[in-house]
Amino acid sequence: MKIGLIHPFYTYDPQKKNRPFPFGVAYIANFLIQKGHKAEILDLNTTYLKKGEIVNLLKSWDCDIFGISSLSGGFAYTKSLASLLKENFDLPIIVGGPLGTHNPEVVLKHTAVDICVVGQGECTTYEILENFGRLDKVRGIAYKGKRGEITRNPQTGLMPLDNMPWPAYQIMQMQDYIWDGASPDMDSKRLYKKGLRVMQMITGRGCPMGCNFCSKVMDRKTLVRPVDDIIKEIKFLMKEYGINGISFRDELYILNRKHAVELSGKLKDLNIIWMGQGRVDRVDSDLIKYMKECGCVSLGFGIESGSQRMLNLMNKGQTVKQIENAMKICRKLDMDMKVQLVLGYPGEDKETVRETVQFFKMVGHPGRRFHLITPLPGSVLYNDLVKKGTIKDEAGYLTELSKRESGFSKGLPLINLTQFSDEELYKIKLETETLMERNYRAYLWSHPFEIYRYLRERLIYKRYLFHPEWLIARLLEKAGLFSNSKKDSQDKKASRIKHLDYRLNCKI
């Protein structure tokens, strides 16, 4: 059989280089191909096709079934896409990823989707293709019957990653996913090395921790890939696509310390740079030092808050002292840190915000952006709100969530779980960010040696270190001798209009 897998559109700037690799569909595609089926992938993040163009392309593929990958915030888009597919092709539609996993009943009831895959998708999709017309035999799905009745089958066990085929690189437009001259730290513009070509990879899946706001496709179960297989895949990417940097997209790179140490050691031999996600309670000086020696340039930390009370309420499983230690070690060893912070978890008040500000002042770090807590399906926080009746209409909630798909750091909160009004909470976020930045600048003046680090970081961030001509242009521009900004803003506006046009076309 032939499946057409679609990675939907997110609110990405078409000009942005750091496009996410669609791991979910890419893994499923290769698994099916290895088992003798056929698969094609349409990534709307890279193609930006409009409705008519989507239909024309899919017609040329002549598929037997369609699969859509979606996060919870992709509900509205998935609904619109599924209707488009049903109107033009009388074929079954599967949805997988967080949306299909956490809200299968809502999806089946409110959209034209026929089957939801709950959890890991490779084996289940294969079983669907093999048991077409006998869906009662397929574990790990929920599906719609002829009269619209919804059936949920028992869950399947997890498939280890030992023999899992790599993503279907052979059928993908790889140049779209290689971050040419970009940073392995996906969300920033930092550039650590000239001529960098970064690819994204997964070394394991899942996370055993139980942070209440975190949404999990595999509950608290975890799977790691054999180190030799990861290295073999990186060597392949280096040879075929000239990759010299890797952004590990796992929830937690240090899932298992022994695995992380072994993998880091082998990465050292490849002479590449890389980054991954850590946890402050899982790192120590020896480990960070070793990872740095092995090419790690940046570690992400979910710090969330500088208030112990908030960390406890979130069930974060880490202490303020551990955060302080990890940050100090990184600073001492000159390891770049990507700090993630949240604001507005139930219990947040002026005192906890003050504690967070004080904490960052004490460690001498700007902290930067806060994400306003947004309850995500698949998290303890969301489930509690559904149980309590705070979220009554899940389809309505998912539709609202869809409007925030580009992130939770802008605008008023979707749901306010604090004592503050929406406007107050948003104002607190902006003011706290400004205050923390100001505190950091004051800290720099009293620690002159740190200024060097700050300036270097700015040079890296703005890429001036490797593009001194940009710095000169900027300085000339500031002096009023040269201007590029008008053209830049026109280009940006044009790309945004194209973007909006696309969204309207999809009736979201």
For binding to ligand B12 (CB under 6 A), which residues are involved? 5, 10, 20, 22-25, 27-28, 67-69, 71-73, 94, 96-98, 102, 117, 120-122, 125, 186, 202, 214-217, 249, 251, 371, 376-378, 405-408
Distance, CA of 38 to CA of 126 (rounded, Å): 11
Sign of CA dihedral 355, 361, 363, 365: positive
DSSP code of residue 409: S
Closest to ligand B12 by CB, 78 vs 322, is 78
For residues 215 and 383, is the Cβ–Cβ distance under 8 A? no
Minimum distance, C-beta of residue 244 to ligand SF4, in the bound complex (Å): 28
Minimum distance, C-beta of residue 508 to ligand SF4, in the bound complex (Å): 28
With CB under 6 A as the contact rule, the residue among 211, 303, 311, 428 that binds ligand SF4 is 211
With CB under 6 A as the contact rule, the residue among 251, 336, 348, 394 that binds ligand SF4 is 251
Q: What is the DSSP string of 116-183?
A: EE-S--HHHHHHHHHTTT-GGG-TTEEEE-TTS-EEEPPPPPPPPSTTPPPP-GGGS-GGGTSEET--
Residue 20 interacts with, from ligand B12, ligand SF4, none (CB under 5-8 Å by kind): ligand B12
Burial (0-12, 13-18, 19+ Cβ within 10 Å), 500: exposed
Residue 433 interacts with, from ligand SF4, ligand B12, none (CB under 5-8 Å by kind): none
Minimum distance, C-beta of residue 142 to ligand B12, in the bound complex (Å): 12
Residue 370 interacts with, from ligand SF4, ligand B12, none (CB under 5-8 Å by kind): none
With CB under 6 A as the contact rule, the residue among 207, 217, 230, 291 that binds ligand SF4 is 207
Distance, CA of 468 to CA of 479 (rounded, Å): 17
Minimum distance, C-beta of residue 313 to ligand SF4, in the bound complex (Å): 14
Residue 302 interacts with, from ligand B12, ligand SF4, none (CB under 5-8 Å by kind): ligand SF4
Residue 417 interacts with, from ligand SF4, ligand B12, none (CB under 5-8 Å by kind): none
Minimum distance, C-beta of residue 267 to ligand B12, in the bound complex (Å): 19
Closest to ligand B12 by CB, 49 vs 207, is 207
Helices then strands, counting H and E runs in the chain, come out as: 19, 16
Minimum distance, C-beta of residue 283 to ligand SF4, in the bound complex (Å): 13
Residue 407 interacts with, from ligand B12, ligand SF4, none (CB under 5-8 Å by kind): ligand B12
Q: What is the DSSP string of 284-313?
A: -HHHHHHHHHTTEEEEEEEEE-S-HHHHHH
Q: Go through 253-291 and write b for each residue having 16 or more CB atoms within 10 A of its CB, e for each that does not.
A: bbbbeebbbbbbeebeebebbbbbbbbbbbbeeebbeeb
Burial (0-12, 13-18, 19+ Cβ within 10 Å), 505: middle
Closest to ligand SF4 by CB, 279 vs 365, is 279
Residue 227 interacts with, from ligand B12, ligand SF4, none (CB under 5-8 Å by kind): none
Q: Quote helix, strand, coil % in the chain, to nearest 5.
A: 45, 15, 40
Minimum distance, C-beta of residue 251 to ligand SF4, in the bound complex (Å): 4
| Among the residue ranges 76-84, 187-195, 205-213, 454-462, the one whose residues contact ligand SF4 (CB under 6 A) | 205-213
> Residue 278, SS3?
strand
For residues 77 and 508, is the Cβ–Cβ distance under 8 A? yes
Residue 4 interacts with, from ligand B12, ligand SF4, none (CB under 5-8 Å by kind): none
**At which residue do the structure tokens 């960010």 appear?**
433
Sign of CA dihedral 260, 264, 270, 272: positive
Minimum distance, C-beta of residue 204 to ligand SF4, in the bound complex (Å): 11
| 302 contacts ligand SF4 (rule: CB under 6 A) | yes
| 197 contacts ligand SF4 (rule: CB under 6 A) | no
Minimum distance, C-beta of residue 302 to ligand SF4, in the bound complex (Å): 5
Could you list the residues that contact ligand SF4 (CB under 6 A)? Answer: 207, 209, 211, 214, 251-252, 279, 302
